[in-house]
Amino acid sequence: MPGNENYPHWKEKDVEETVFWPAARRFAACATLAGAALGAHAADGMKELRFGVEASYAPFESKTATGQLVGFDIDIGNAVCAKLKMKCVWVENSFDGLIPALQARKFDAIDSDMTITDKHKLAIDFTDPICTISNQLIAKKGCAILPTVDGLKGKRVGVLQGSIQETYAKAKWATAAIDVELYQAQDQVYANLASGRLDAAFQDAEAASKGFLKQPQGAGFALAGPAVSDDKLLGAGVGFGVRKSDKALKDALNRALKELKDDGTIDRFAAKYFDVTVVVK
């Protein structure tokens, strides 16, 4: 899915009274060291692991009729918690608010099909990649829509707000006067596509297949054109997002993920949920 435009930025104020500057600098250095020490022990003694998730992106994460969270990311998160002997706690959040919420410590890590990109890494850190999945458009069967400027001329394309698809669509299509519309939940994208308000939707191919094309509202629609690739804008894999200061937690997550890759658990989860080719990293 998952680029995020909304994480906060800070500007340092100029210190005019230079007599206070050495003390201020020493204080900042102490604060930095204290923060690093806290991050170094982030995983020590943790009894629960709180994952942030946007739960409308099947088959990665979605809800059953009874409200239970299910999906590829949910299974991986639960398996990681089992490896680390922690209780999994799931905190729901809009996708475009996941990075700010992580920074505000509303949860410990993001597990919501978030792609590792240079833009995301300006704000947070990531575990090692878990897998990669291609990105494609959905449109009405038989239409001439393609993921190019000419193929989308005069069309309306829906994307999830805060996603890598938004980043790509704004950079490549919106600049060419193509109407790119943003939605806070993927279900809203699909609903507006089905109703005819949108001409196309742009998301990863697996979400397109399971989340829409195999559902009743997806009748009469299909993947439109080839997969879209751009390592700079669309990234090169999905991982857990963590705060930059939480190195111990990042290392613990990486160890758990490696064990799940080595013992074939993630491959089994991929076979369980996915229709398209998924590369486990």
Asked if residue 20 is part of any domain, the answer here is no
Show the low-confidence residues of the chain (pLDDT under 70).
Answer: 1-44, 277, 281
d(CA 75, CA 89): 13
Asked if residue 30 is part of any domain, the answer here is no
Identify whether residues 169 and 227 lie together within a single domain.
yes
pTM of this prediction exceeds 0.75: no
Beta strands in 111-251 (DSSP E): 125-126, 131-132, 135-140, 156-160, 179-183, 200-204, 221-228, 241-242
Identify whether residues 124 and 254 lie together within a single domain.
yes
The structure tokens listed for 38 are 């806290």
Name the residue range of residue 230's domain: 135-234
Q: Judge contact between 113 and 165, C-beta under 8 A.
A: no
Asked if residue 118 is part of any domain, the answer here is yes
The structure tokens listed for 93 are 């959040």
**pLDDT for the residue numbered 231:** 85
**pLDDT for the residue numbered 52:** 98
Identify whether residues 159 and 230 lie together within a single domain.
yes
**pLDDT for the residue numbered 20:** 32
Asked if residue 13 is part of any domain, the answer here is no
**pLDDT for the residue numbered 45:** 78
Q: Judge contact between 130 and 239, C-beta under 8 A.
A: yes
The structure tokens listed for 79 are 């398996």
Amino acid identity for residue 186 in this structure:
Q
Among the listed residues 195, 199, 221, the one whose alpha carbon sits nearest the alpha carbon of residue 140: 221
Give 35-83 pLDDT, tens digit per residue. Answer: 344 333 446 678 999 999 999 898 999 999 999 999 999 999 999 999 9
Asked if residue 217 is part of any domain, the answer here is yes
Asked if residue 1 is part of any domain, the answer here is no
The structure tokens listed for 176 are 């060419």
**pLDDT for the residue numbered 43:** 64
CATH number at residue 156: 3.40.190.10
**pLDDT for the residue numbered 280:** 76
**pLDDT for the residue numbered 278:** 75
Indicate the number of domains in the chain: 2
